Structure 1
Amino acid sequence: MITFENYTIRPLKIDDLNPYFDLVERNRKRLEDFFTGTVSKTRDLEATKNFLVEIDKKRNKKEYYPYLVVDNITNNFVAFIDLKNIDWSIPKTEIGCYTDEKHAGKGITTKALNLFIDFCFDNFNFKKIYLRTHKSNKAAQNVAKKCGFDLEGTIRMDYITTAGDIVDLMYFGRLN
């Protein structure tokens, strides 16, 4: 666990079912296009439970690591961070995150990501962490820059949205 100010960054657990579902549900419209897996696998509580079991299995196989940023005062989930597309042969990983709409724009995600990235370099020994975002997501681009990521380029036709559009993504990387 990582703590800063009034927040804790901790692994997502199966027991987090209801508040995690609520976090996704509150932000579903914002997540629709670029968190396709999350949106499609959390349509109701039962599907969300199955999704949490599935990602727990991936965590045990060291293929995926989901985390939450939790407000220590209210115990509400403020943000979600995950490590995916892990390549242990290099070793590198993609980081993804989203912030609850009512907490967005307050600097919480930037602080959390900076601490979390340092944790990942120290604890997982990654050589590189990268993040992908669409050109329309200015908030993600700003967070990436504030967290020491460099723009490495744009990969054309790199992602399919929930609506089925194939879009270009900007790649940002940070080396250890």
Structure 2
Amino acid sequence: MHGTDQTPIIETRRLILRAPRPADASRIVELVDYDVARMTLRMPWPYAPADAEGFITQVAMQDRRRDNTFAIELENEGLVGVLGFFPTPEAQLEVGYWLGRPYWGRGLASEALMGALTWASRDWRKRMVVAGHFADNPASGRVLCKAGFLYTGVVDTKLSRARGEPADTRMMVWLA
């Protein structure tokens, strides 16, 4: 951990966003299927316990001035996904997230994202966040729009590790 900064805890109506813990690894592996992994940039497929353990170790070493990653916890159900902020090569702040398939279509991604953006602007003092969604994942686009992101008109080609090939990525921006 860099400095004394720890991942903050963000509470929304139904969710708690908190630092991922080693005990979360098995739950993450349980929730990540191919349809989850293929909609992310960095997640490998197949997704093994060592991948979850490595992810949690990497997150624990983040510089909280630049990166913040949260386990998304649903009351009475535990971890349902992950949301993270990270710097892009162009020095912008990007957000990414995933939810396990049983939790799709319930407004949880939107709720987590809106809570995280409120925290990022108010407490972390961020004024702009970028995001992208694969063109074949319109549901993620709806989540981003609901949270106040706007399409930039840019379509990048980004490599999806799980797919093993690039995918058209519709870029968006959020301004505080």
Q: State the TM bucket, normalised to the shorter chain.
A: 0.7 to 0.9
Q: What is the aligned-residue RMSD (CA, Å)?
A: 2.5
Identity %: 13
The aligned counterpart of 2:6 is none
CA spacing shift, 1:5–1:111, aligned 2, 3 Å: same
Please state which structure has a larger fraction of its residues in helix: 1
**How far does residue 48 in structure 1 lie from its aligned partner after superposition?**
2.9
Q: Secondary structure at the match of 1:142?
A: helix
**Within 2, Cα distance between the matches of 1:104 and 1:47?**
23
- 2 CA distance for matches of 1:52 and 1:117? 22
- Dislocated runs of 4+, deviation >4 Å: 86-89
Task: Give per-residue Cα distances to partners, 1:44-92, cap 9 Å, x unaligned.
Answer: 2x443233222221x1364432101212323x11221001125796xx4
Gaps of 5+ in 1: none
- Between 1 and 2, higher relative CO (CA 8 Å, sep ≥ 6) is seen in 2
Q: Secondary structure at the match of 1:38?
A: coil
Displacement of 1:127 after TM fit? 1.9
- Choose from 66, 70, 73 the match for 1:70: 73
| Cα distance in 2 between the residues matched to 1:156 and 1:95 | 16
Could you report, residue by residue, the CA deviation over 1:77-118 in whole angstroms, capped at 9, with x for unpaired residues? Answer: 1221001125796xx411001112111101121122111101
- Cα distance, 1:61–1:147 mapped onto 2, change above 3 Å: closer
The 8 Å contact of residues 159 and 167 in structure 1, kept in 2 or not, is answered as yes
Aligned pair count reads 168
Q: Structure 2: give runs of 5+ residues left out of the alignment.
A: 1-8
CA distance in 1: counterparts of 2:113 and 2:85, whole angstroms: 12
TM-score (norm 1): 0.81
- Taking the TM superposition and a 5 Å limit, the aligned residue runs for 1:56-67 are 56-57=60-61, 59-60=62-63, 62-67=65-70
TM-score by length of 2: 0.81
